[in-house]
Structure 1
């Protein structure tokens, strides 16, 4: 029993080592790997080679499958080249199995030693993450040694012989066992390495090991299909096509396993080398034979798994019509409409927030987080839509509008994150500790919240109409908000001096909420500066400009009366503009 536990722990260490290597490589080179895969779609041989290279690095065809399905699900890659990449991924994982079965026992302690040093000393750097990869490789090699050490004495144990006696004749049962282990370990590589090691230790026969190898490949396809369940139909087709290719290879290869095992059993090679060589040869032949069929498989998968309307868990863009991209002015109108919808969702989040502040309503908090996910989804959709728009076809005004849309969507996305942060702070510092604001403190937060919602509505109106007068009102509203925020902060400090217990208990949360509202106000009001920088605003007469300067200087003097440090006071029509950098101004 103890030896069996040793074997299971060694297998767990092997699985953990492959996981560490995969996550470490993706953290260091994830963006580069995604770029290689997304660009390798012109020709099938190139896509096939990209799949081999990426999978050899991350040591997991499942990780490659997740990347590819996400590309297809978002429309960045067609199904046919994605299937070619998946075929290359199967060959890549087979090649890595061959590398890891070499006699590398001397390398394991070195990799672990230097990997730990790099990871602990430079944890937050790329070099530290490479140290994590070294640790994973060292653990894989060490685990293989432990599996051999644990399996060798088990060959004579009666219980073990009974356990593996069922894997001696039925090729279908053996293949299903290999598939099951690959699914449990989430790695066909781990399943193949274990089969090779057990065959070397004579725990299982060569025929059983070959069946386990075929089943392990099938299991990785099932895992990929399960992992793609959250994707849309386009993403799931990738996993379905890859699984069908593996099923075809399994059906053709299993009847030949028995004669093949008898033929090679007398060869002067180690059993482990024979198993790994079969794994490489099986995947290479199967994938090369299937490579010309990717177009046909893509059509078949599209017929079997058509696009269907599914209940939306997050908001999807409604107005971003790809067909309008050929007409930039129309595409900009679509982007503006979607941005206004994004602003409406942020306003919903703001309107729900007082209910959490007053009552700590968990259901409302959940709804706010759901709306935050909607904001992120719309931000991604608008951003990708604008990126596909041909900028060289835009006139000066349309280019300015393009920059305004980008700026506002970024600000709204950041606003959604800030509101979620405010929600977390309320639940952590107030609701969970059963604390409450003082009456005056609650009135101050409510007043700031009402002014914040009003400024958001005004900013969306200014964005839609490009109204110069509205932009001036929004700029003045921003300044009034700042004055009121300072006044309330001073009032709160005065309550602390008076030893108001509720104010003392909620002081940190109170000041954090005021600070977050100030940041939200700056994000909402930034559009005013972009609108006032339009070329048509440059033609105003000097008297009008002098009047605006005088108004701004008067507001600054009022701000100084509330104790603002001199270093923060500025004069000029665009004072305090440094809070939010305007992409519109950069574009012009």
Structure 2
């Protein structure tokens, strides 16, 4: 599979992001070991462990992002953008390490696993970017436009957000345990999420016609926030598809027993 491996190496070179400038311990990989590159099977297992760690950071910022989008201060919103730097850094090191692994003479199974790792890591990084860019910008607009999200609307939006977090939790668990059925369940959540989105749209239209101050700007920001989380859900489904299409059970990782654990506050 040398020819196929060469093609993979070229693909990896194209997707390697810019190297992070900071050298904070939190931004550095914990499981990637260059001395194990000569043993691709072990090296790929370690990549999966690092991806699990990256997933915990991603889950953390997704979990806290909706409350901040609804009522967070500018300082709080900017802090969550800073947390995305950890995800970006781990993404860089993971992709770089996969590039080194791809230079080895991989089996067909290992080549598939390497590609899956790239897809999962890229998906998690995109989720972080949606929070750090799109949601942060939307939140800053909300603040500058003096938009206040009503408690009733906030409740509806949080319900939608909880469903997105549930999908991410299930996807990360499916990847860690190799559970194809659970990954397929995430894929099947599309209908429920679409119905919730439709209900929110109806709610927003009713709010738009109400005689409320600043209703146009409020409508725009609320719809924008929901669209961002809908996009995040779509990314999660694509990540779940990687696991759902696995031919073999994934390697076991050190995924957290409790998804509520906040890795951002830990020194991983």
Q: TM-score, normalised by structure 2?
A: 0.77
Q: What CA deviation, in whole Å up to 9, does each residue of 1:319-376 have, x standing for no partner?
A: 1111111111111111111111111111221222234234423443232122111111
Deviation at 1:388, TM superposition (A): 0.5
- Measure, in 2, the Cα distance between the counterparts of 1:385 and 1:366: 30
Structure 1: stretches of 5+ with no match in the other structure = 1-73, 75-229, 233-309, 538-588
User: What residue is the counterpart of 1:488 in the other structure?
Assistant: 200
Do structure 1's residue 457 and structure 2's residue 136 form an aligned pair?
A: no
CA contact (8 A) 1:492 1:503 kept: no
Q: Is the 8 A contact 1:356 1:362 kept in 2?
A: no
Contact 2:207-2:219 within 8 A present in 1 as well: no
Aligned-residue offset at 1:409 = 0.9
**Residues of 2 paired with 1:447 and 1:314: CA distance?**
31
CA drift at 1:520: 0.3
**Structural mapping, 1:214-363, within 5 Å:** 312=24, 315-363=27-75
Cα separation, 2, equivalents of 1:503 and 1:533: 45
Q: CA deviation at 1:526?
A: 1.2
Q: Does the residue aligned with 2:37 lie in a helix, a strand or coil?
A: helix
Aligned counterparts of 2:67 and 2:248: Cα–Cα separation in 1:
43
Pairing partner for 1:478 from 187, 190, 193: 190
Q: Deviations over 1:544-573 (max 9, x none)?
A: xxxxxxxxxxxxxxxxxxxxxxxxxxxxxx
**How many angstroms apart in 2 are the aligned matches of 1:331 and 1:384?**
13
**CA distance 1:536–1:357, change in 2 (3 Å):** closer
Q: Name the CA shift for 1:504/1:362 in 2 (closer, same or farther; >3 Å).
A: closer
Equivalent in 135, 145, 153 of residue 422 of structure 1: 135
Structure showing the higher helix proportion among its residues: 1
8 A contact 2:77–2:139 mirrored in 1: no
Change (3 A) 1:316 1:336: same
Contact kept? 1:319, 1:337, Cα under 8 Å: yes
Partners of 1:355 and 1:496 in 2: CA distance: 22
For CA contacts below 8 A with separation 6 or more, give which structure has more relative contact order: 2
How big is the shift at 1:535?
3.6
CA deviations 1:56-112 (Å, max 9, x no partner) are xxxxxxxxxxxxxxxxxx7xxxxxxxxxxxxxxxxxxxxxxxxxxxxxxxxxxxxxx
**TM-score scaled by structure 1?**
0.37
Q: Distance in 2 between matches of 1:530 and 1:512?
A: 28
Give the greater-gyration-radius structure (CA).
1
Selected match of 2:85 from 362, 365, 373: 373
Superposition deviation, residue 457 in structure 1: 0.9
Q: 1:463, 1:527 within 8 Å by CA — same for their partners in 2?
A: no
Q: Is the 8 A contact 1:314 1:377 kept in 2?
A: no
Q: Rate the CA distance shift 1:531–1:371 in 2: closer, same or farther, 3 A.
A: same
Residue 95 of structure 2: aligned partner: 383
Change in CA separation of 1:336 and 1:439 when aligned onto 2, cut-off 3 Å: same
Asked if the contact 1:438/1:503 (under 8 Å) is kept, the reply is no
CA RMSD of aligned residues (A): 2.4
SS at match of 2:58: helix
After superposition, residues 561-572 of structure 1 pair within 5 angstroms as none
SS in 2 for 1:481: helix
Deviation at 1:486, TM superposition (A): 1.9
- The alpha-carbon distance between structure 1 residues 362 and 336, as it changes in their structure 2 partners (threshold 3 A), is same
Residue 387 of structure 1 and its aligned partner are, at CA, apart by: 0.5
CA contact (8 A) 1:441 1:503 kept: no
Indicate if the aligned counterparts of 1:462 and 1:470 stay in contact, CA closer than 8 A: yes
Alpha-carbon offset, residue 447 of structure 1: 0.9
Against the structure 1 CA distance between its residues 469 and 502, is the aligned structure 2 distance closer, same or farther, given a 3 Å change threshold? farther
Contact 2:31 2:49 in 1 (8 A): yes
Q: How many residues align?
A: 230
Change (3 A) 1:478 1:398: farther
Of 496, 510, 513 in structure 1, the residue corresponding to residue 222 of structure 2 is: 510
Closer, same or farther: CA 345–231 of 1 in aligned 2, 3 Å: closer
Q: 3-state SS of the aligned residue for 1:435?
A: coil
Rounded Cα–Cα distance in structure 2 between residues aligned with 1:383 and 1:514? 30
SS at structure 2 position matched to 1:393: coil
Superposition map of 1:15-30 within 5 A: none
Q: Distance in 2 between matches of 1:506 and 1:362?
A: 17
